[in-house]
């Protein structure tokens, strides 16, 4: 079942690029059917992962230390559901939204390639394979950021491509060093070899290389400069994908998979992660307060919320990891909803400047109400999902005795609330501008996906009640196992 997650998007990308130019409707149809199929398979993978604990697929029938394998465990199925849920709703949204660009089929081709890369990163059990998928996803995203080919978009894409390639080189250098030290590329085998060798200075060097590379991909604060340009410049549906899932899969997932399952976590790495998380949380939200560009403001909030995720995971306690992963899921839902809202505003008004909006709720009730739900989620107002995950993270900070970080998290949350009150006040409430009388609500497909995301925002708070919690808990268990990951994989192979 596992290769399906890579085969479907790759095949769809191939067919769309081949046939999409001649038959216009086919590209919409294929992309939506493809992502719907992926969503169904990823939901199906959750009970399978719960029942079997771990599944290993051997590509071509070769035994893993020699051949490449794909691994399905709790963390994998959790990430697959997150990615494919968001990507399905984004393709539904794109049916109408991408009409204003020419060459829609090229957009879908790149989109599917990016999705193939992300799913590949999640399911693979081989380190170099992870690098290849990471590059597929990155190259597709560089091209997608430049999709409008206006001056600003090209500039942002150039910056993003340069930073991204440097990050990839760091990661490749880390992989080369790790290979020379352990002479294997299989993740479980690397963990096995490393656990039998004494700790040496080269591991510290590899750690630094991976940390720099993946933190650049995840846009943690000292490495964040490209994100605020790249994410707002892309078409709104791509901004939703980039901020919603790409930085999480390329950055956070790869980082925690390598540090927890391969190299083995220790207190130094955890405190570096916590520091980076806390720093991004506060610095980015302060930068966000000063923004007047709707999408740029959202991009800065992405950095800040990734800070929460990294802080939660960096605590290293069961509760902290639970909070971090839960916030990762919630953030992918509400941040993609906010980006889709901003896309709807651009679609109707043609501007992203908050000062030129006002009173849009009257004319665009669906966009206005869904963005209110998303804003309250991201700011952490009680009935919505963002509240639960932030609350768990703060609670975990206090439980671990890190009162300073708990205080930072509360401050960050208050500043987030302030900046989203600004968005709501200037864009959606207030008096309608005279020259905006003619605007209309967006078409049905865009409305449909925004409403679906808003509903998920409300109900996904339920993920922590005992009936649904195995979904999250199995992901947390994999991380808590740490080095035990290798025993699980080798156990499944026998």
The CA-to-CA distance between both ends of the chain, in Å, stands at: 19
Told to check if 349 binds another protein by CB under 8 A, we report: no
User: Counting contacts by CB under 8 A, is residue 173 touching another protein?
Assistant: yes
CA distance 139 to 478: 30
Contact string (CB under 8 A) for another protein, positions 182-201, x = contact: -x-x----------------
Tokens matching residue 313 = 């995971």
Instruction: In whole angstroms, give the CA distance from residue 16 to residue 23.
Output: 9
x-or-dash pattern for another protein, window 292-331, by CB under 8 A? -x--x-----------------------------------
According to the binding rule CB under 8 A, does residue 165 interact with another protein?
Answer: yes
User: Closer CB to another protein, residue 78 or residue 223?
Assistant: 223
Of 323, 329, 336, 405, which Cα lies nearest the Cα of 370? 336
Residues 331 and 302: their CA atoms lie apart, in Å, by 8
Nearer to another protein, 139 or 475 (CB): 139
When asked if residue 418 is in the footprint of another protein (CB under 8 A), the reply is no
Q: Which two structure tokens, joined as six digits, stand for 108?
A: 């879908």
Residue 179 in contact with another protein, rule: CB under 8 A: yes
# chain residues binding another protein, by CB under 8 A: 37
Cβ proximity to another protein: between 109 and 168 the closer is 168
143 near another protein, judged by CB under 8 A: yes
Residue from 32, 87, 91, 157 in contact with another protein (CB under 8 A)? 157
Query: Six-digit token pair at 65?
Result: 């230390």
Q: Of 162, 130, 167, whose CA–CA distance to 146 is shortest?
A: 162
319 token code pair: 């509760």
Note whether 172 binds another protein by CB under 8 A.
Answer: yes
CB of 211 to another protein, least distance (A): 17
- Return the sign of the alpha-carbon dihedral for residues 429, 435, 440, 441: negative
Polymer length in residues for the chain: 494
Task: Specify the residue, 200 or 434, whose C-beta has the smaller distance to another protein.
Answer: 200
Spatial CA neighbour of 301 closest among 315, 320, 280: 280
Q: Which is nearer to another protein, 185 or 452 (CB)?
A: 185
* Coil, helix or strand at residue 408: helix
59: contact with another protein by CB under 8 A: no
Tokens of 78: 């959790």
From 25, 51, 151, 465, residue interacting with another protein (rule: CB under 8 A): 151
Q: Is 135 in the site for another protein (CB under 8 A)?
A: yes
| 152-181 burial: b if 16+ Cβ within 10 Å, else e | ebeebbbbbbebbeebbebbbbbbebbeeb
Least separation in angstroms between residue 255's CB and another protein is 20
CA dist 346 and 101 (Å) reads 13
Q: Which residues contact 190 (CB under 8 A, 6 or more apart)?
A: 127, 178, 182, 184, 262
The only residue of 150, 195, 222, 355 in contact with another protein, by rule CB under 8 A: 150
Classify 234 as helix, strand or coil: coil
In this chain, which stretch among 74-82, 87-95, 130-138, 373-381 interacts with another protein, using CB under 8 A? 130-138
> Is residue 161 within the footprint of another protein (CB under 8 A)?
yes
Site string for another protein, 221-240 (x = CB under 8 A): -------xx---x-------
Considering the complex, state which of residue 2 and residue 110 has its C-beta at the smaller distance from another protein: 110
Which is closer to another protein, CB of 209 or CB of 489?
A: 209
Near another protein by CB under 8 A: residue from 142, 147, 384, 428: 142
**Residue 17 found at the interface with another protein (CB under 8 A):** no
Out of 29, 48, 290, 418, the only residue in the binding site for another protein (CB under 8 A) is 290
Distance, in Å, from the CA atom of 119 to the CA atom of 246, rounded to the nearest integer, reads 10
Under the criterion CB under 8 A, does residue 155 sit at the interface with another protein? yes
How many angstroms separate the Cα of 55 from the Cα of each of 52, 120, 192, 307, 376?
A: 7, 15, 18, 31, 38
Confirm or reject binding of residue 419 to another protein (CB under 8 A).
Answer: no
CA geometry: angle 263, 210, 78, nearest 5 deg:
70
Stretch that binds another protein, among 41-49, 135-143, 186-194, 274-282 (CB under 8 A): 135-143
Q: Which of 15, 39, 116, 139 binds another protein (CB under 8 A)?
A: 139
Tell me whether residue 40 or residue 176 sits nearer to another protein (CB atom): 176
Q: Given the complex with another protein, which of 157 and 385 has the nearer CB atom?
A: 157
- Rounded distance between C-alpha atoms, residue 239 and residue 341, angstroms: 11
Specify the residue, 1 or 290, whose C-beta has the smaller distance to another protein: 290
Q: Residue from 15, 80, 113, 146 that binds another protein (CB under 8 A)? A: 146
Enter the DSSP assignment of 429. Answer: S
Q: Which residues of 207-233 are buried (b: 16+ CB within 10 A; e: fewer)?
A: bebbbbbbbbbbbbbebbebbbbbbbb
CB of 298 to another protein, least distance (A): 13
- Write out the residues near another protein by the rule CB under 8 A: 128, 131-132, 135, 139, 142-143, 146, 149-152, 154-158, 161-162, 165-166, 168-169, 172-173, 176, 179-180, 183, 185, 228-229, 233, 290-291, 293, 296
């Amino acid at each position: 079942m596992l290769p399906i997650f890579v085969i479907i998007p790759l095949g769809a990308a191939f067919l769309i690029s081949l046939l999409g130019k001649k038959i216009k409707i086919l590209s919409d149809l294929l992309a939506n059917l493809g992502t719907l199929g992926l969503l169904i398979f990823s939901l199906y993978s959750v009970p399978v992962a719960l029942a079997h604990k771990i599944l290993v697929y051997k590509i071509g029938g070769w035994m893993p230390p020699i051949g490449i394998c794909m691994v399905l465990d709790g963390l994998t199925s959790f990430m697959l559901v997150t990615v494919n849920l968001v990507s399905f709703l984004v393709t539904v949204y794109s049916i109408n939204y991408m009409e204003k660009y020419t060459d829609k089929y090229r957009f879908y081709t790149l989109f599917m390639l990016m999705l193939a890369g992300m799913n590949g990163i999640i399911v693979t059990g081989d380190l170099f394979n992870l690098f290849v998928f990471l590059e597929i996803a990155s190259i597709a995203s560089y091209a997608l950021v430049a999709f409008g080919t206006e001056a600003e978009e090209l500039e942002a894409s150039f910056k993003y491509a340069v930073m991204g390639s440097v990050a990839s080189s760091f990661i490749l250098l880390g992989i080369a060093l790790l290979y020379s030290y352990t002479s294997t590329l299989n993740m479980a085998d690397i963990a096995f070899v490393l656990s039998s060798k004494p700790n040496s200075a080269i591991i510290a060097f590899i750690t630094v290389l991976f940390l720099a590379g993946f933190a650049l991909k995840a846009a943690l604060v000292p490495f964040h400069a490209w994100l605020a340009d790249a994410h707002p410049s892309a078409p709104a549906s791509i901004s939703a994908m980039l901020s919603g899932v790409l930085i999480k899969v390329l950055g956070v997932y790869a980082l925690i998979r390598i540090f927890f399952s391969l190299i083995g976590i220790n207190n130094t790495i955890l405190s570096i992660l916590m520091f980076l998380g806390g720093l991004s949380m506060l610095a980015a939200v302060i930068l966000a307060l000063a923004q007047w560009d709707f999408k740029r403001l959202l991009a800065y909030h992405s950095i800040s919320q990734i800070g929460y995720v990294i802080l939660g995971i960096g605590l290293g306690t069961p509760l902290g990891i639970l909070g971090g992963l839960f916030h990762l899921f919630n953030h992918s839902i509400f941040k993609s909803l906010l980006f889709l809202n901003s896309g709807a505003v651009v679609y109707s008004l043609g501007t992203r400047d908050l000062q030129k909006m006002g009173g849009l709720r009257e004319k665009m009730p669906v966009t206005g109400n869904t963005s209110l739900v998303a804003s309250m989620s991201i700011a952490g107002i009680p009935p919505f999902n963002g509240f639960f995950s932030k609350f768990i993270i703060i609670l975990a900070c206090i439980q671990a005795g890190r009162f300073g970080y708990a205080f930072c998290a509360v401050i960050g949350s208050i500043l987030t609330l302030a900046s989203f009150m600004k968005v709501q006040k200037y864009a959606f409430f207030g008096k309608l501008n005279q020259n905006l009388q003619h605007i209309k609500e967006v078409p049905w497909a865009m409305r449909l996906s925004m409403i679906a995301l808003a509903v998920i925002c409300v109900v996904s708070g339920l993920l922590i009640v005992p009936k649904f919690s195995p979904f999250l808990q199995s992901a947390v268990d994999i991380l808590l196992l740490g080095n035990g990951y290798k025993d699980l994989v080798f156990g499944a192979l026998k």
